[in-house]
Amino acid sequence: MAEIKLMKGNEAVAEAAIRAGCDAYFGYPITPQSEVIEYLMMERPEDRTGMVVLQAESEIAAIHMVYGAAAAGKMAMTSSSSPGISLKEEGISYMAGSELPAVIVNVVRGGPGLGTIQPSQADYFQTTKGGGHGDYRLLVLAPASVQESADFVADAFRLAFKYRNPVMILSDGVIGQMMEKVIMPEQTPRLTDQEIIEKYGDWATTGKPDDKERNIITSLELDPYKQELHNIKLQAKYTQMQEEEVRYEMINCEDADYILVAYGSSARISQKAMDLARAKGIKVGIFRLITLFPFPSEQLNDLAGRVKGFLAVEMSAGQMIEDVKLAIEGKTKAVHFGRYGGVIHSPEEILEALEQKLIGG
Amino acid sequence: MTEELIIAGFGGQGVLSMGKILAYSGIMQDQEVSWMPSYGPEMRGGTANVTVIISDDRISSPILTQFDTAVILNQQSMDKFEETVKPGGVLLYDPNGILKHPTRKDINIFKVEGAKIAAEMGNAKIFNMIVLGAYLKAKPIVKLENVIEGLKKSLPERYHKLIPLNEEAIKRGMNELVEIS
């Protein structure tokens, strides 16, 4: 039987990266994410799998090192927290434009600006609606436990290479800092250049072969008509993500009158609020987003036809609520509740918001 | 069984590691656990606290505002957490440095002279294990043998020679628990 460990979410991400066969990690420390790079430095994965771990001189350098490694067809990742992710956005946009796979972890803290080091979910807009410039999307996975923090790393790499697009794991200060039981996946060997080509196609810049032209990785195309064609191709990938990659979890939704919509740590806290509500006889269910993009619009729309309302619970002033409202097309009521700026809402506050803003409002 | 616990004191008292050892002990007896620390600039010299949940069932929120038990190791934490103990719950504290003692009548209050006993035993670092012992006497949620297993898991191997000392401290703490009300 696999060994059960007690780990922080951040440590689980780091160990899972080694085990996913990641080739290279480039990062820069920032609270509440620093355990990712600390763990990797302590663990010395170069001795275990040959994986490169490097502390760059800045977040910007780190993301462009990821760009370079990804352009060579390697499984590369970086991690940071909100202000550091803002610095990386230029590189992320370039990778989306250049169609490069990469895994980026954001352990979100309160903002804007340097903000606070306490947990937050206020980077939802940045993560799902751009962040960098141009018409692009990230595929976004939001873990709600230490186990998912581990499991989503290999998933993220698989999806990144499937779509040749950056994938973001959107964690937060709670999920990153808390310890829970975790069972680590088995070690996957790192892929050779040849195995990458066989598995994901011959697109990387691994040298000019004799029998064909060299591959070029770039996000630059000065001819607007060609750039439009490139954009259409990118959009087709995002449409395919919407068709194939939507992930969510429904808890007690079958008989529910009211649904708490949440992701990450808010989904965990909402579960306690759900228990408190059910103890009072209010039939509450949870709709937990696992992918933030693609957004489970159809599933929420289906639910909207048979419930009395949605409470979008997020540690922000109201970001995910916009996508919830778009999804349910006004079929029923949807209101937002959340503490923000680094403050974590309690289960009791969520219950109070449910009773006053949704049921009584 | 679900135990929702907060351990609060100064940074450096071993608050976080006491929580970690408890969480590991829970794992050793196949329970679900979560360990959520306060983190940030407050950790050095200031207050530190950790929420530990040990349960037979899946744990929902790792963040709580009310607790079955509060283990309180300094005055700031007493001011903050006495009121967060659920009615009928347990408050365990070390009176060393406490000026305003707990006053609630609807909870069970215990004390342990952790700092004093650690000084007697000649090792300030075992303070948190004395407190852990007292806690386990008041709330026997995990078996001592599983705590020892938990210690083995949470301590690097080079410190395993210290396990007998830690076990002694836990047992001493168990014997020194005083029920106040």
pLDDT tens readout for residues A81-93: 999 999 999 999 9
| Residue B45: per-residue pLDDT | 67
Domain that includes residue B36, residue range = 2-179
B44 at interface of A, judged by CB pairs closer than 8 A: no
Q: Which of B20, B62, B64 sits opposite A174 (nearest CB)?
A: B62
How many Å apart are CA B59 and CA B32, to the nearest integer?
7
- Give mean pLDDT, residues B116-142: 96
How many Å apart are CA B66 and CA B4, to the nearest integer?
8
Residue A172 has pLDDT above 80, yes or no: yes
| Residue A73: per-residue pLDDT | 96
Burial of A189 (C-beta count, 10 Å sphere; 0-12/13-18/19+): exposed
Asked if residue B36 lies in contact with residue A174, where contact means CB atoms within 8 angstroms, the answer is yes
| Mean confidence (pLDDT) of chain B | 94
Domain at B69, CATH number: 3.40.920.10
Q: Which B residues 119-158 touch A at CB under 8 Å?
A: 153-154
pLDDT, one tens digit per residue, over A197-232 is 899 999 999 888 888 899 999 999 999 999 999 999
| Residue B41: per-residue pLDDT | 62
Q: Do B39 and A173 touch (CB under 8 A)?
A: yes
Q: Do A346 and B20 touch (CB under 8 A)?
A: no
Q: Searching chain B, which residue's CA lies closest to the CA of residue A344?
A: B63
Neighbours of A38 (CB within 10 A): 15
This complex has an ipTM of 0.93
β-sheet bridge partners, residue A259: A285, A310
| Chain A neighbors of B60, CB-CB under 8 A | 268-269, 271-272, 274-275, 347
Q: Searching chain A, which residue's CA lies closest to the CA of residue B150?
A: A6
Cα angle value A160/A163/A168 (rounded, 5°): 35
Structure tokens at A19: 């085990």
Q: Searching chain A, which residue's CA lies closest to the CA of residue B27?
A: A181
Sequence ranges of the domains in chain A: 4-183, 249-359
Which CATH architecture group holds A249-359? 3-Layer(aba) Sandwich (3.40)
Q: Looking at per-residue confidence, does B110 or B38 come out higher?
A: B110
Q: Which residues contact A138 (CB under 8 A, 6 or more apart)?
A: A92, A96, A104, A127, A128, A131, A165, A166, A167, A168, A293
| Residue A294: per-residue pLDDT | 98
- Give mean pLDDT, residues A154-181: 98
Q: Searching chain B, which residue's CA lies closest to the CA of residue A179?
A: B35
Asked if residue A358 lies in contact with residue A311, where contact means CB atoms within 8 angstroms, the answer is yes
| Residue B155: per-residue pLDDT | 87
Question: How many structural domains comprise chain B?
Answer: 1
Residue A1 has pLDDT above 80, yes or no: no
Choose, out of B63, B149, B152, the residue to mutate when testing the contact with A (most A CBs < 10 Å): B63
Least confident segment among A103-112, A160-169, A206-215, A334-343: A206-215
- Give mean pLDDT, residues B119-132: 96
| Residue B137: per-residue pLDDT | 98
pLDDT, one tens digit per residue, over B9-45 is 998 899 999 999 999 999 999 999 999 998 766 555 6
| Residue A130: per-residue pLDDT | 84
Domains A4-183 and A249-359 share a fold: yes
Residue B154 has pLDDT above 90, yes or no: no
| Residue B90: per-residue pLDDT | 98
- How would residue B52 be classed by pLDDT, with cut points 50, 70 and 90? very high
CATH fit for domain A4-183, picks 3.90.1150.10, 3.90.110.10, 3.40.50.970, 3.40.50.2000: 3.40.50.970
How many Å apart are CA A5 and CA A7, to the nearest integer?
6
